[in-house]
């Protein structure tokens, strides 16, 4: 009898351990958060990788996987499909998607300027302003991306119609550079470190600069909140603890950026992000560091500027009432440690 009881106890203990182990595995899997970034090598999205490099996700007890994508629009699609929990991409997607009946929210605002530049190829000195885009092929990271949005705005504001020019998705980095060299595009919008490389070789020059708040106000009429961390509103409603921990980590990173030099920040980044030239990388970061918010908060007039810009050309926004209060929240940044 004693042996029978012992065997029963042993079986029960093994079963209990199995259940506990299974539960722990399930909990561990549930705790993993996948964030897709619209180009991890781009300096505009530097806070995502920097947060990981500094160990701030781990400090919050988070298991975060960063996944790379070529453009913000691809990242947005992965989020809507439920393949990832969050996106590091441009805030303007929250406004655009609401016009299509889909709700996502920015919970940490990384930048108050796009960090983008419209470059014109040295082969086309006839392009002296966006008004000269007529008949040109213009490079963007992807169709439906924020570079697409901003390029359309610059063209329409200069009196052009959509059929007057062609948008070509060429990504960023080497693919963008190749498109310029091969004359596939006559002008295009890109970020650092691609900007610095093309300026150094003399293969392109700056047409419209949106790397700082001041230059952005001149180009777009106000602060343009760009790089951000956004999630689906439905996920946010049921994952407030995770959202708060993510906000804590990202806000800590924004304060790190505000308190350190471009060179100190570059030292924390993976070396392959320098694209073979650390000095150029640091130079580009120093020139555009002012685009980052010091604390992750949304600029006061930012959402209104984004809505104004998108409404200039977007058919999906025509006749729609957009509730900007549902496109972002400062609650998690306000509560960050």
Same domain, 246 and 146: no
Task: Tell me the C-alpha distance between 252 and 255, whole Å.
Answer: 5
Task: Tell me the C-alpha distance between 48 and 57, whole Å.
Answer: 10
Reply yes or no on whether the pLDDT at 27 is more than 80.
Answer: no
What confidence tens digit (pLDDT) does each residue in 297-337 have?
A: 999 899 999 999 999 999 989 888 999 999 999 999 999 97
Same domain, 246 and 180: no
Same domain, 230 and 108: yes
Same domain, 103 and 152: no
* Dihedral sign from CA coordinates of 292, 297, 299, 302: positive
Domain assignment present for residue 250? The answer is yes
- Is the backbone peptide bond immediately before 104 cis, with ω within 30 degrees of 0? no
Same domain, 102 and 129: no
Domain assignment present for residue 215? The answer is no
Same domain, 228 and 268: yes
Same domain, 94 and 169: no
Last residue of a domain, which of 210, 238, 260? 210
| pTM attached to this predicted model | 0.86
Same domain, 272 and 238: yes
Domain assignment present for residue 145? The answer is yes
Local confidence band at 5 (pLDDT 50, 70, 90 cut-offs)? very low
Let me know if 100 is exposed, middle or buried by CB neighbors in 10 A (0-12, 13-18, 19+): exposed
Same domain, 65 and 108: yes
pLDDT of residue 71: 67
What confidence tens digit (pLDDT) does each residue in 254-270 have?
A: 999 999 999 999 999 99
Q: Give the number of C-alpha atoms closer than 13 A to the C-alpha of residue 151, restricted to the C-beta side.
A: 31
Sheet holding 32-37, edge to edge: 63-68, 32-37, 86-90, 227-232, 104-109
What confidence tens digit (pLDDT) does each residue in 42-82 have?
A: 999 999 999 999 999 999 999 999 999 876 677 888 898 88
Reply yes or no on whether the pLDDT at 212 is more than 50.
Answer: yes
DSSP calls for 193-212:
THHHHHHHHTSEEEEEEESS
Paired with 188 in beta bridges are: 119, 139
pLDDT of residue 72: 64
Whole-number percent of the chain with pLDDT over 90? 79
Q: Structurally, how many domains does the chain consist of? A: 2
Domain assignment present for residue 27? The answer is no
pLDDT of residue 299: 93
Same domain, 164 and 238: no
Last residue of a domain, which of 210, 241, 259? 210
- Domain of 175: which CATH number? 3.40.190.10
What confidence tens digit (pLDDT) does each residue in 28-37 have?
A: 444 799 999 9
pLDDT of residue 162: 87
Last residue of a domain, which of 147, 178, 210? 210
Domain assignment present for residue 234? The answer is yes
The average confidence (pLDDT) of the chain is: 89
Domain assignment present for residue 217? The answer is no
Task: Tell me the C-alpha distance between 160 and 266, whole Å.
Answer: 40
Task: Tell me the C-alpha distance between 20 and 5, whole Å.
Answer: 22
Q: Which domain holds residue 267?
A: 33-114+224-315+323-335
- Segment (H or E) for 262: helix 262-268
Ramachandran angles phi, psi of 290, nearest 5°: -65, -15
Spell out where the chain has E strands. 32-37, 63-68, 86-90, 104-109, 116-121, 137-140, 166-169, 187-190, 204-210, 227-232
What confidence tens digit (pLDDT) does each residue in 110-137 have?
A: 999 999 999 999 999 999 999 999 999 9
Same domain, 235 and 173: no
Domain assignment present for residue 21? The answer is no
Domain assignment present for residue 162? The answer is yes
Same domain, 241 and 281: yes
CA gyration radius for the chain?
Answer: 23
What confidence tens digit (pLDDT) does each residue in 222-250 have?
A: 999 999 999 999 999 999 999 999 999 99
């Amino acid at each position: 009898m004693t042996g029978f009881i012992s065997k029963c106890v042993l079986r029960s203990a093994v079963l209990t351990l199995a259940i506990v182990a299974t539960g722990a595995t399930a909990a561990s899997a549930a705790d993993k958060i996948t964030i897709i970034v619209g180009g991890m090598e781009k300096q505009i999205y530097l806070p995502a990788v920097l947060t990981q490099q500094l160990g701030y996700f781990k400090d919050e007890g988070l298991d975060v996987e960063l996944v790379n994508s070529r453009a913000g629009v691809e990242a947005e699609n992965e989020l809507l499909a439920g393949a990832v929990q969050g996106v590091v991409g441009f805030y303007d997607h929250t406004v655009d998607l609401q016009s299509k009946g889909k709700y996502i929210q920015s919970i940490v605002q990384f930048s108050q300027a796009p960090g983008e530049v419209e470059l014109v190829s040295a082969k086309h000195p006839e392009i002296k302003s966006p008004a000269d885009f007529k008949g040109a092929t213009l490079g963007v990271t992807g169709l439906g991306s924020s570079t697409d949005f901003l390029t359309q705005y610059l063209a329409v504001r200069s009196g052009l119609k959509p059929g007057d020019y062609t948008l070509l998705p060429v990504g960023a980095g080497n693919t963008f550079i190749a498109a310029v060299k091969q004359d596939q595009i006559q002008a295009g919008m890109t970020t650092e470190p691609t900007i610095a490389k093309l300026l150094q070789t003399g293969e392109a020059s700056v047409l419209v600069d949106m790397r700082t708040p001041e230059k952005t106000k001149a180009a777009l009429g106000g602060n343009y909140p760009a790089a951000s961390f956004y999630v689906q509103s439905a996920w946010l409603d049921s994952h407030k603890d995770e959202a708060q921990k993510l906000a804590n980590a990202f806000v800590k990173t924004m304060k790190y950026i505000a308190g350190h030099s471009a060179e100190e920040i570059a030292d924390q980044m993976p070396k392959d992000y320098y694209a073979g030239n650390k000095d150029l990388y640091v130079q580009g970061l120093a020139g555009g560091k002012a685009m980052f918010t010091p604390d992750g908060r949304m600029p006061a007039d930012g959402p209104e500027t984004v809505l104004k810009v998108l409404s200039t050309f977007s058919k999906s926004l025509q006749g729609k009432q957009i509730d900007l209060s549902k496109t972002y929240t400062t609650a998690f940044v306000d509560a960050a440690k």
